[in-house]
Structure 1
Amino acid sequence: MTRAFHPASVRMRALGSVSPLLVVGPSWVGDMVMAASLVEVLRLREPGRPIDVLAPPAAVPIARMIPGVRRAIPLGLGHGELGLMARWRAGRALRNEGYGKAIILPRAFKAAIVPLAAGIPERVGYKAELRSPLLTDARPDPDRKTARTLDRFVALGLPVGSTARPPRPRLMLPDGAVDVAAAKFPLAGEGPVMVLCPGAEYGPAKRWPASKFAALAALAVAAGYRIRILGSPKDQEAADAIAAGAGVPVDNLVGRTSLVEAAAILAGADVVISNDSGLMHVAGAFDRRLVVLYGASSEKMTPPASPFARVMARDLPCRPCHKRECPLGTLACLEGIAPEEVLAAAEQMRR
């Protein structure tokens, strides 16, 4: 039976074991948010042991917001970059840090190179891409296509065979971040704030159509909401279409905020409407009221962490397909979700 995690429920390392631990973090923003649960488990198992996180540039701001992370180390390589020699050099640069253990969250072969080059004696990760010789504890990953990503991450921080319910991921904003964001991006008017997050880095099969976001914005403004749109510069086209199609005032901040500023705005929102995206997981880590729209991805594998979340998905034989683009060309899984349903769900979440 699954039980709640408690520091006394797992065997502690001997006192005096204070060699730092390195977590090799994932590239996706949402996955880095979920890595916060692993960090919390490690903190509870070995209080006082320093935890550093190695992260690609896009995920470094999230790593810095994870409670318990001593240092977020930028890798200097983006998602998808092989950079074998650059990774080896990055590892060699860490040899004097004294790390006693590395937990490698990505399954890629290249992710195991830095801990090996750093001479870290204990290297834990999942068997994948023929990289087992680079690990000292190469674990099978039979449930990777069905288990929650969060559970798979936490399992790497526990003894093999342990079954503990992981804590929800939480983030902590830097001091003053809320005030800085409020001063830089003031919002006029009164009424509850609804934040729309129309992006999804993975691909269009995870994105609710911009026309539906626009229709939702119009309905929400009529119901008394103030609308803000958040996303990366890659979401600019969708955000502009929403702003143009809504026919009501919207505060389009897409491409204008840093990730920390976006997190501060999300933390102050009354309700967030989002695809399955990195910003959705950020909002969940601040316990925001969330309505999450699922298309190609699975709400069972990457569910929102917030206890105040409502999932909207269509039960179709073709989903979840986990494809970047709809193989059928219909996007039926997302086209079938009506703006009126989403607003009704948001209203119910706020009662």
Structure 2
Amino acid sequence: MGSSRILIIGPSWVGDMLMSQSLYRQLKIQHPNCEIDVLAPDWCRGLIERMPEIANSIAMPVGHGSLQWGVRKRLAAVLEKRGYDQAIVLPNSFKSALIPWLAQIPLRTGWLGEMRYVLLNDPRKLDKAAFPRMVERYVALAGKGVRRASELPAIVPPRLTVSSEGQRTALAEFDLPPEGLVGLCPGAEFGPAKRWPDYHYAALASRLIADGKQVACFGSAKDAEVVETIREQLPDEQQAAFHGLAGRTSLPQAIDLLAACEAVVTNDSGLMHVAAAVETPLVALYGPTSPEFTPPLSDRAEVIRLIDGYLKVRKGEAEAGYHQSMIDIKPEQVLDALKRVLAQ
């Protein structure tokens, strides 16, 4: 399999896509000459193009959860001509396994789920307790016969390529300093329960600016409202040192700018995993979701969480839908954690 071609059916979310890079890095260790292509949604392709292990990024033309049989069949016909030796299917849905089957890829690997016995001819039965972290479940698909996480090789963490030229250009475009910049990532998918409250972010930003830092607030267009809410809570004289970037940067620009920050404070989000993958010191704030399942894969990260277990909630009971466990994390705790990761 040393010179084989492998097609990865990639995850649909930024954080999951970042964690899947550990699989690609492991495949390259085991088979240095293999060629890896990733089929993924457009919004993830900016990440894939910063993964040196990947030969080609292929656009997934079908929306998340949509069948569109004809579209899948046409794409499969194109992929069949590329002569893949193996497909590794990372999502657990029936639909995600259709294209490799339609493309008649000889070896089709993935965890069993949603009646995929016919579509996968190298199925694996997942014992979730044996693989407690998502990244372990991805890396386990690189080999055979691995029954628990303790049998895996050492996890190679995600590492994205940073463009020095792109970084300089982005810093100039958004009028950001090359030093003394702290990043905040106040957004998170699946609702406000995963978010540290805007007023805590504002208090932290104010303290940082008072200490001579400038603050860049990252996020998607959906996060622009909360970023503006944070800015509005700052004293007038501090607002010039606060840079709201939500919805203004491309994903490659966000990668380069997060790498330019001296530290990042973030919710459990895709951008948290990006910050970890560019090795920026970070403080990750968790509430209902569990850092035992999707931790930042970095030795320069500190996690703050005040509760145990996993709670499947998308909206907390407190004001604005925040979860009480996130409200209880105080800005002083986060500031102390920031000082510790910077001191490392």
Same fold (TM over 0.5): yes
Aligned residue in 2 for 1:346: 338
Determine if the alignment matches structure 1 residue 170 to structure 2 residue 159. Answer: yes
2:171 to 179, 182, 197: 182
Distance in 1 (CA, whole Å) between partners of 2:65 and 2:329 is 32
- Please report how far the alpha carbon of residue 89 of structure 1 lies from its aligned counterpart in structure 2 after TM superposition: 2.2
Distance in 2 (CA, whole Å) between partners of 1:87 and 1:326 is 38
Aligned residue in 2 for 1:282: 274
Distance in 1 (CA, whole Å) between partners of 2:265 and 2:157 is 20
Aligned residue in 1 for 2:290: 298
Q: Which amino acid aligns with 1:321?
A: L
Identity %: 38
Of residues 339-348 and 94-103 in structure 1, the stretch that sits farther from structure 2 once superposed is 339-348
Distance in 1 (CA, whole Å) between partners of 2:260 and 2:164 is 15
- Please report how far the alpha carbon of residue 251 of structure 1 lies from its aligned counterpart in structure 2 after TM superposition: 0.6
2:314 to 324, 334, 347: 324
2:81 to 96, 109, 116: 96
- Please report how far the alpha carbon of residue 210 of structure 1 lies from its aligned counterpart in structure 2 after TM superposition: 1.1
Distance in 2 (CA, whole Å) between partners of 1:159 and 1:285 is 27
Aligned residue in 1 for 2:103: 118
- Please report how far the alpha carbon of residue 239 of structure 1 lies from its aligned counterpart in structure 2 after TM superposition: 0.5
Aligned residue in 1 for 2:190: 202
Distance in 1 (CA, whole Å) between partners of 2:89 and 2:327 is 37
8 Å CA contact 2:315, 2:322 repeated in 1 = no
8 Å CA contact 2:179, 2:261 repeated in 1 = no
CA deviation vs aligned residue, 1:54-89 (integer Å, no higher than 9, x gap): 111111111111121000101023334343432232
- Please report how far the alpha carbon of residue 202 of structure 1 lies from its aligned counterpart in structure 2 after TM superposition: 2.7
TM-score by length of 2: 0.92
Aligned residue in 2 for 1:8: none
3-state SS of the aligned residue for 2:142?
Answer: coil
- Please report how far the alpha carbon of residue 18 of structure 1 lies from its aligned counterpart in structure 2 after TM superposition: 2.3
Structure 1 gaps of 5+ residues are 1-12
Superposed CA RMSD in Å reads 1.9
Query: Superposed, which structure 2 residues align to 1:75-90 within 5 Å?
Result: 75-90=60-75
- Please report how far the alpha carbon of residue 186 of structure 1 lies from its aligned counterpart in structure 2 after TM superposition: 2.2
Distance in 1 (CA, whole Å) between partners of 2:276 and 2:179 is 22
3-state SS of the aligned residue for 2:332?
Answer: helix
8 Å CA contact 1:208, 1:335 repeated in 2 = yes
Determine if the alignment matches structure 1 residue 39 to structure 2 residue 30. Answer: no
Distance in 1 (CA, whole Å) between partners of 2:45 and 2:91 is 15
Flag the 1:212–1:132 CA change in 2: closer, same or farther, 3 A. Answer: same
Flag the 1:78–1:195 CA change in 2: closer, same or farther, 3 A. Answer: farther
Flag the 1:174–1:277 CA change in 2: closer, same or farther, 3 A. Answer: same
Distance in 1 (CA, whole Å) between partners of 2:166 and 2:145 is 39
- The count of corresponding residues between Structure 1 and Structure 2 is 333
Distance in 2 (CA, whole Å) between partners of 1:323 and 1:165 is 32
8 Å CA contact 1:297, 1:321 repeated in 2 = yes
Aligned residue in 1 for 2:202: 214
8 Å CA contact 2:6, 2:37 repeated in 1 = yes
Aligned residue in 2 for 1:72: 57
Query: Superposed, which structure 2 residues align to 1:184-263 within 5 Å?
Result: 184-187=173-176, 192-247=180-235, 248-249=238-239, 250-263=242-255
Aligned residue in 1 for 2:117: 132
3-state SS of the aligned residue for 2:341?
Answer: helix
8 Å CA contact 1:127, 1:141 repeated in 2 = yes
Q: Which amino acid aligns with 2:95?
A: K
Distance in 2 (CA, whole Å) between partners of 1:191 and 1:184 is 15
TM-score by length of 1: 0.90
3-state SS of the aligned residue for 2:81?
Answer: helix
Distance in 2 (CA, whole Å) between partners of 1:145 and 1:130 is 22
8 Å CA contact 2:79, 2:103 repeated in 1 = yes
- Please report how far the alpha carbon of residue 99 of structure 1 lies from its aligned counterpart in structure 2 after TM superposition: 0.2
3-state SS of the aligned residue for 1:228?
Answer: strand
3-state SS of the aligned residue for 2:88?
Answer: strand
8 Å CA contact 1:146, 1:300 repeated in 2 = no
Flag the 1:129–1:210 CA change in 2: closer, same or farther, 3 A. Answer: same
CA deviation vs aligned residue, 1:149-183 (integer Å, no higher than 9, x gap): 11110001112225222111111135632122123
8 Å CA contact 2:111, 2:124 repeated in 1 = yes
